Amino acid sequence: MPLPDPPPGTPGAAPSADADRAAPARPATTPAAPAAPAAPHGAASSGAIRRGVRSFVKRGGRITGAQERALAELWPRWGLEYEGPGHTLDLPRAFGRTAPRVLEIGFGDGDTLVQLAKLRPERDFLGIEVHPPGVGHCLLGIEREGLSNVRVMRHDAVEVLTHAIPDAAFDEVLVYFADPWPKKRHHKRRIVQPAFVALLARRTRPGGVLRLATDWQPYAEWMLEVLNASPCWRNRAPDGRYVPRPPERPVTKFERRGTRLGHLAHDLEFERRD
């Protein structure tokens, strides 16, 4: 797939039989009591997530015939609909089993999600992305690899996490090469914010891990500042800064482009405090 247009401001062991049997049950949401607000969990400065400020812009972008087919034909098997406030996802039902669960936010074309899911069949992977061609590309990868441990959502991850995900749902959360929004007036669009990392902490089990990577040095520093100030997360780097690149993390197209531009990728790793 061609690299999706960057948004304005972007520089630059086989799955269990049980999983196969029970997978397609949908909708996998349970009507819930009115969703709890994204309680900031002791977040630093800003209280709640700012409504109307999104970390993405709707991009047109080309969609291939294969991606369109994937969205039409493969979505019913691997896609999970976001049904709005009041509908909490039943993740064990969606995956057809209970297994350690990984969330990838903003998976782009989904190559990382597919590679990791193939590598770790004992884990379930939920990917959230707003860009339809990327979702289509990801669905094609899931089909090609015959994976049963991946589900995808096509919606704003902030809304999904706020309204549709139960507490302590994830063992691991991945935020790789999030849009850096380099201009100062756009910094409010950066997805890594005090309220957002507090929300992520609520949806991650105690002891769970948050991994981030970025090739935009000022955003890396911003992430460090936000996360090191959070009472919910403990930096696993001995010096309180960056960790070595995790060997399992695949190189993405966005990372390759950054490398061509001379940007160095930084990896961050935080553990959810009890």
Identify which of residues 180 and 208 has a Cβ nearer to ligand SAM in the complex.
180
Identify which of residues 12 and 166 has a Cβ nearer to ligand SAM in the complex.
12
What value, to the nearest 5°, has the Cα angle with vertex 241 and ends 238 and 247?
A: 80
Asked if 129 touches ligand SAM (CB under 6 A), the answer is: yes
Amino acid identity of residue 108, one-letter, is G
Asked if 269 touches ligand SAM (CB under 6 A), the answer is: no
Segment contacting ligand SAM by CB under 6 A, of 12-20, 150-158, 164-172, 224-232: 150-158
Asked if 172 touches ligand SAM (CB under 6 A), the answer is: no
Asked if 157 touches ligand SAM (CB under 6 A), the answer is: yes
Q: What is the 3-state secondary structure (H, E, C) of 153-210?
A: ECCCHHHHHHHCCCCCCEEEEEEECCCCCCCHHHHHHCCCCHHHHHHHHHCEEEEEEE
How far apart CA 96 and CA 90 sit, in angstroms, is: 10
CB of 14 to ligand SAM, least distance (A): 26
Q: Which of 179, 239, 267, 274 is catalytic?
A: 179
CB of 17 to ligand SAM, least distance (A): 31
Segment contacting ligand SAM by CB under 6 A, of 122-130, 197-205, 218-226, 231-239: 122-130
In the residue annotation, 179 being an active-site residue is answered as: yes
Of 40, 96, 106, 127, the one binding ligand SAM (CB under 6 A) is 106
Find the DSSP H helices in the chain: 17-22, 65-69, 75-78, 91-95, 111-119, 132-145, 157-163, 194-202, 217-229, 253-260
Asked if 179 touches ligand SAM (CB under 6 A), the answer is: yes
Measured between alpha carbons, how far is residue 155 from residues 10, 54, 80, 121 in Å? 20, 12, 10, 25
Of 252, 263, 268, 269, the one binding ligand SAM (CB under 6 A) is 252
Q: What sign results for the dihedral spanned by CA atoms 167, 27, 56, 259? A: positive
Of 82, 95, 177, 216, the one binding ligand SAM (CB under 6 A) is 177
CB atoms closer than 10 angstroms to residue 218: 12
Site residues, ligand SAM (CB under 6 A)? 10, 55-56, 106-108, 128-131, 134, 156-158, 176-179, 191, 252-255
Q: Which residues are catalytic?
A: 179
